Amino acid sequence: MSGLTPGFADPVPAAQACFRALLEAMARPGRVHRLAGLPEAPAPLAPAAAAMLLTLADAETPLWTDAGPVAEEWLRFHAGCPLVAEPGAASFLLAACGMPELAALEAGTEEEPHRSATLVLQVAGLERGAGWRLTGPGIETEHLLEVEGLPRGFLAAWAANGARFPRGVDLVLCTGDRLAALPRTTRIEEAG
Amino acid sequence: MTALGYNFGYLDENTKRMIRRALLKAVAIPGHQVPFGAREMPLPYGWGTGGIAVTASVIGADDRLKVIDQGADDTTNAVSIRRFFAKVAGVETTERTGEATIIQTRHRIPEIALREGQVLVYQVPMPEPLFRLEPRVSETKRMHALADYGLMHVKLYEDIARHGHVAISYNYPVLVGGRYLMSPSPIPAFDNPKMDRMPALQLFGAGREKRIYAVPPYTSVRSLDFEDHPFRPVRADAPCALCGSRESYLDEVVVDDRGGRMFVCSDTDYCSTRQATREAAE
């Protein structure tokens, strides 16, 4: 317990601010939001990803993560969420080193598509820029987003995730203090 | 200052987290009803508990809240909900649509166009658009899963066959994002076109029925109709007696016991703003 760093300094307003940013991010896919009042999360957790889990995860939401024992201990202590070894059994997944296969995650059922996992993916870079052109609900015409550090074949996996709508996994991309969300309805094309 | 003895926004943090998770999934699946655990509120079901639970989970200290009941800021329900949040969240409140960041509404959409950065929270009595046609939740769930909305089309067809037009003036069913049939909460059909591709985020909370659903910004919301019987929003054929508006939605008000009546704007902020500008111009 000795090396445990603190969570939110002021949990109620911090969780509200983080949730509001997430709600905006989910409602306007691909817009990059910068969070303030972030917790001191141990490496390799990105502060934005850690804040998101403190905001949303608790005893009711099994979490899967590959971030290592220090991060696991921090999340278990501050969020109080059970950790699971199987990605398919988790409601939240925090991927800090590589991405679990989207098809293997809980996608909900046709009747209850909200019982699906949310994948928090830490990436190397996240900017508004020329990499992707996003369309779908929440986007007036198109949003541009540049993401660095995604595995090869991501776009094909994302298209397959969108094709099973209303089932599917929702994605939150995080780096440092920034995040952007990709709900299952967002279509991605490579801008070129 | 928030009232002592309450958490910010009245609800405890566990409940807020549960509602926040439901809200995010609701936004990710436009028009789909997500169940949530509705908590007991200091007012009864039917008075906007669902809307209050959603607002309480979204609101922050910097927000400015507007509450309307049938378009009016000064009715009992609107005043008490506004006071409730002023007390338990210490937020600023307003009656001006343009100044609000969160607008909680019972059965109306404000007349002036909402913008990005605003959140519209609807109080919903019955979230299931099919409940009068199919009372079994297990069946309606399956119908939503299969996007099997034939029953509703038959209902609209029967209206046309019987009355010559679709006889629904409020709570007119809509299709969200081309996929989910959704109850717009009992707003007048007049307001339905405002939901389509609205820049603001629309959240819906049904307390008694324990459902949350959402329409993200710029999402298509189409009122169900037929090619030869297109959807037509209904409006009383009169100008507002107070501000003269011919565009706004009107309430019919009985003014005496000899059959006297007048039509006035249902949106009080819109009407008083128009009256003030007209007076200023004179």
What's the CATH number where A171 sits? 3.40.50.11310
Q: Is the predicted pLDDT of residue B14 greater than 80, yes or no? A: yes
- Tell whether the model's pLDDT for residue B2 goes beyond 70: no
Determine the distance from the C-alpha atom of residue A3 to the mean position of all C-alpha atoms in its chain, rounded to a whole number.
26
Domain ranges of chain B: 13-129+172-223, 235-282
Tell me what pLDDT residue A137 has.
97
- Percentage of chain B lying above the pLDDT 90 cut: 92
Q: Model confidence at A130, in pLDDT bands (50, 70, 90)?
A: confident
How big is the CA angle at A69 (ends A63 and A71), to the nearest 5 degrees? 65
| B230 contact partners, CB below 8 Å, separation of at least 6 | none
Q: Exposed e or buried b for every residue in B79-106, given b needs 16+ CB within 10 A?
A: eebbebbbebbebebbbebeebbbbbbb
Looking at domain B13-129+172-223, what is its CATH homologous superfamily? Bacterial phosphonate metabolism protein PhnH (3.40.50.11310)
- For the record, the structure tokens of B178 come out as 């081309």
For the packed helices A69-78 and A47-56, what is the interaxial angle rounded to 10 degrees?
A: 40
| pLDDT(A175) > 70 | yes
Q: Is residue A140 part of a domain?
A: yes
User: Which residues does B157 contact at the CB level (< 8 Å), separation at least 6?
Assistant: B226
Q: Which of A55, A109, A137 sits opposite B177 (nearest CB)?
A: A137
Range in B1-5, B75-79, B116-120 with the lowest mean pLDDT: B1-5
Q: Is residue A2's pLDDT more than 70?
A: no
B29-40 per-position pLDDT tens digit: 999 999 999 898
Instruction: Say how many domains are in chain A.
Output: 1
Asked if the structure places residue A3 within a domain, the reply is no
Note the pLDDT tens digit of each residue in A22-33.
999 999 999 999
Read off the pLDDT of each residue in B221-250 and give the average, rounded to a whole number.
Answer: 94
The pLDDT of residue B20 is 98
- A1 in a domain, yes or no? no
CA distance B2 to chain A (A): 13
Mutation target to probe the A interface, by most A beta carbons within 10 A, among B15, B24, B136 is B24
In sequence order, what are the beta bridge partners of B123? B205
Q: What confidence score (pLDDT) does residue A107 get? A: 97
Query: What is each CA distance from A89 to A22, A189, B194, in whole angstroms?
Result: 23, 30, 41
**How confident is the model at residue B240, as a pLDDT?**
96
Cα-Cα-Cα-Cα dihedral sign, residues B7, B8, B9, B11: negative
Residue A192 has a CB neighbour count (10 Å cut-off) of: 6
| pLDDT tens track for B85-109 | 999 999 999 999 999 999 999 999 9
| C-beta pairs of A147-150 under 8 Å, 24+ apart in sequence | A147/A123, A147/A173, A148/A123, A148/A124, A149/A123, A149/A124, A149/A125, A150/A99, A150/A121, A150/A123
- Would you place residue A129 in the very low, low, confident or very high pLDDT band (cuts 50, 70, 90)? confident
Work out the average pLDDT over B175-204.
97
Residues A40-59 have pLDDT tens digits of 999 999 999 999 999 999 99
Q: Residue A73 belongs to what domain range?
A: 11-190
Closest-CA residue of B relative to A55 is B17
Contacts of A34 (CB under 8 A, 6+ apart): A177, A178
Q: Residue B98 carries which DSSP code?
A: G
Residue A1 has pLDDT above 70, yes or no: no
Report whether pLDDT(A192) > 80.
Answer: no
Tell me the per-residue pLDDT of B110-132, one tens digit each, with 9 for 90 and over.
999 999 999 999 999 999 999 99
pLDDT for position B146? 97
Is B205 designated active site?
no
Tokens linked to B91: 């937020």
**Known catalytic residue at B48:** no
Mean pLDDT of B65-91: 95
Q: Would you state the pLDDT for residue A9?
A: 93
Which residue is associated with the tokens 């019982």?
A: A115
Helix/strand/coil for A190: strand
Q: Give pLDDT, residue B5.
A: 83
Q: Which residues of A touch B (CB under 8 A)?
A: 11-13, 15-17, 19-20, 22-24, 26-28, 55-58, 60-61, 109-114, 116, 118, 137-140, 165-166, 170, 183-185
Is residue A55 situated within a structural domain? yes
| Contact check, Cβ <8 Å, A13/B8 | yes
Average pLDDT over residues B223-249: 94
Backbone angles phi, psi at B234, to 5 degrees: -100, 140
